Structures are given as C-alpha cells and as structure tokens.
C-alpha cells in the first residue's frame, strides 16, 4: 500500500513497525503492534497523549501510554486468570488497510481478524477495525463485527493516557452525580459528588455515556473527551504506590498523566448478536 506524503513507516526497533505522521495539523505515532496510537501532538500544542519513557516496544507486549485497545475483555479475563489483562487486541499485530490525507489531517484504518491464535484466547470469529482521524482533534473508532454464529459478549476500552502538567491541580468535570464502581481496595459502588480531583489512587468505572473535560491549569488547557456507543467512562491515576509497581512507568509519572477511557465494561458489557456490528468511539480535543 502506498502511504501519503505525511505518513512514513519506520522501524523504531527492527521488526517493530511504527507509522510517523507529520502533517500541518498535527504530528503523531502509531504502532502496528496493537494498532496503538502512541503519540498525538496537535499543531501549536504540547503532547496530548502521555507516552511513558520506559514503555516497552516489543512485539506482543502492551505499550504504556497512548491509547491501548483493550478488547475483547476489560481488566482481568472474566473467568480465566491465566489470560492477559485487558484482552489480546493491544498485543497482536494489526494490518494497515487505509492511509489517506487531506487538508484537515490524516485518516488511517487497521484491521484484526480472528485466526487460530485468537481462537486459543477467545472462541469467536470476528473482525475488529480501528479507524483513526488525526488532525486538530483526535477521533478513534473501534468497530467490532461478529462473524460467528452466536452472540458475542464484548467488554472494551480505548484506554487513553492524557498528559497533564500537575495532577494535583487537575479537575475532571462531567461525571457529577454519576454512579461508579470504585476498584481501589474493596470493589464498591459509589456516587460521584461534584468534580473529580486527585490526591490518591483513582481507579473508577463510571456508568456514563457523557462527555468529560479535563481542566489542566499547569498546562493552561482543557481537554474534552467525547464518546460514542460507550456506557462506561474509566478514570485512572495510579498515584504513588502503584506507579512504583509498574516497571514501564517512572515512579514520578503519576504527576503528569491520567486515563480517561471510553469503554463498555461491567453492566455496560455489550451483547453483540451474530452478524451485527458495534462501534466504540472517543474524540479528543484541546481548548
């Protein structure tokens, strides 16, 4: 496939293809491993996605940062603890299907199809399509097509890592009044009162389809995260102790990122009938 002038294919490491996007509207990087949007920098802005300087770039390994595609389950496997965390899509090699450019930006789409290897992990025939529109905003869609003869139970997340200047000054708006599953310590259902601020580990699955904003006074910007076909918004910051336990994350990194994830998990798990399709979407913009 020929690539548009604003897209170059390089091998960050031999055998590890990464697409470098350099367009007047933005620069970005996307790894074929996991169809993983690693970085996105709109023109005139500092990086919007957080990418760990200790991220492991090896085939079959998840990348710490950017937008991991958590699919077809979210978190631990529902019944088999030997299965990988957050499914297998983020550690499989996807196939580039389309790369095009316009004055507004670049569109790239990738596909992952079921095969003998995925059948070992998940007994369904499927196609997963990731479509990315990169420009002044970042629009990522994950379409699942159920090619099998039975219903498919699908939990998923576009697990977006967002760069912030100082987490202690950040405010997340848009979830006031929403119920959520608090997974720090004893898993407990709670209700959000007011905006979200950060002075401890936060790992919550909000039962919400709405738009969220992240106000970041230190970087003097507000990020807006809109969603499509998403009944769960995951908000995560590992804080001090969990950051120390993550080898691919600097101990102090928690000051400078949080995750706002368009997801379908828990009660929002999707039942996808045979032959049908479902598209999870996140749209990130900067003000």
Could you list the beta-strand ranges (E) of 168-220: 171-173, 179-182, 188-191, 202-206, 212-216
Residue 62 interacts with ligand TA6 (CB under 6 A)?
yes
The residue among 21 and 257 lying less far from ligand TA6, judged by its C-beta, is 257
Q: How far is CA 122 from CA 78, 79, 91, 112, in A?
A: 12, 12, 14, 13
Q: How far is the CB of 217 from ligand TA6 (least distance, A)?
A: 24
The residue among 30 and 158 lying less far from ligand TA6, judged by its C-beta, is 158
Q: Which of 206, 236, 239, 254 forms a contact with ligand TA6 (CB under 6 A)? A: 236
Q: Which of 36, 129, 159, 207 forms a contact with ligand TA6 (CB under 6 A)? A: 159
Residue 266 interacts with ligand TA6 (CB under 6 A)?
no
Q: Which of 85, 97, 240, 277 forms a contact with ligand TA6 (CB under 6 A)? A: 85
Residue 31 interacts with ligand TA6 (CB under 6 A)?
no
> What kind and span of H or E run contains 282?
strand 277-286
For residue 131, the 8-state DSSP code is E
- Hey, is 183 helix, strand or coil? coil
Beta carbons within 8 Å of 115's beta carbon, 6+ residues apart: none
**196-235: which residues touch ligand TA6 (CB under 6 A)?**
203, 234
Size of the site for ligand TA6 (CB under 6 A): 10
- Hey, is 256 helix, strand or coil? helix
Question: How many whole angstroms separate alpha carbon 190 and alpha carbon 269?
Answer: 19
Q: How far is the CB of 248 from ligand TA6 (least distance, A)?
A: 8
Q: How far is the CB of 221 from ligand TA6 (least distance, A)?
A: 23
159 is a catalytic site residue: yes
Residue 86 interacts with ligand TA6 (CB under 6 A)?
yes
What are φ and ψ of residue 107, in 5° steps?
A: -115, 130
Measuring CA to CA, which residue among 217, 286, 253, 272 is closest to residue 55?
A: 253
Candidate list 159, 207, 255, 278, residue with the active-site label:
159
120 is a catalytic site residue: no
Q: How far is the CB of 47 from ligand TA6 (least distance, A)?
A: 19
Q: How far is the CB of 205 from ligand TA6 (least distance, A)?
A: 8
Q: How far is the CB of 138 from ligand TA6 (least distance, A)?
A: 19
Question: How many whole angstroms separate alpha carbon 79 and alpha carbon 73?
Answer: 11
Q: How far is CA 96 from CA 35, 174, 278, in A?
A: 8, 35, 20
Residue 156 interacts with ligand TA6 (CB under 6 A)?
no
Candidate list 39, 101, 156, 261, residue with the active-site label:
261
Residue 259 interacts with ligand TA6 (CB under 6 A)?
yes
Contact 259, 242 (CB under 8 A): no
Residues lying near ligand TA6 in the complex (CB under 6 A) are found at 62, 75, 85-86, 159, 203, 234, 236, 259, 261
Catalytic residues: 159, 261
């Amino acid at each position: 496939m020929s690539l548009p002038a604003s897209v170059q294919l390089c091998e960050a490491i031999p055998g590890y293809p990464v697409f470098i996007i350099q367009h007047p509207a933005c620069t970005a990087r996307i790894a074929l491993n996991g169809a993983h949007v690693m970085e996105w920098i709109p023109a005139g802005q500092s990086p919007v996605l957080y990418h760990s300087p200790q991220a492991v770039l090896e085939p079959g390994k998840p990348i710490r940062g950017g937008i991991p595609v958590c699919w077809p389950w979210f978190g631990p496997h529902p019944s088999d603890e030997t299965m990988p965390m957050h499914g297998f899509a983020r550690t499989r090699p996807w196939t580039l299907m389309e790369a095009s450019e316009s004055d507004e930006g670049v569109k790239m789409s990738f596909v992952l199809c079921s095969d003998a290897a995925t059948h070992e992990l998940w007994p369904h025939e499927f196609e997963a399509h990731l479509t990315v529109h990169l420009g002044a905003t970042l629009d990522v869609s994950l379409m699942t097509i159920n090619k099998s003869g039975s219903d498919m139970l699908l939990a998923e997340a576009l697990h977006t890592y967002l760069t912030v200047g100082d987490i202690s000054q950040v405010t997340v708006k848009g979830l006031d009044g929403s119920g959520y599953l608090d997974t720090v310590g004893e898993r407990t259902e709670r209700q959000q009162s007011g905006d979200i601020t950060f002075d401890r580990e936060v790992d919550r699955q909000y039962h919400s389809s709405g738009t969220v904003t992240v106000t970041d006074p230190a970087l003097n910007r507000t990020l807006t995260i809109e969603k499509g076909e998403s009944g769960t918004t995951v908000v995560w910051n590992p804080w001090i102790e969990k950051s120390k336990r993550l080898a691919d994350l600097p101990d102090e990194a928690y000051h400078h990122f949080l995750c706002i994830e368009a997801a379908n998990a828990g009660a929002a798990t999707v039942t996808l009938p045979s032959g049908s399709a479902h598209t999870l979407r996140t749209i990130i913009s900067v003000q």
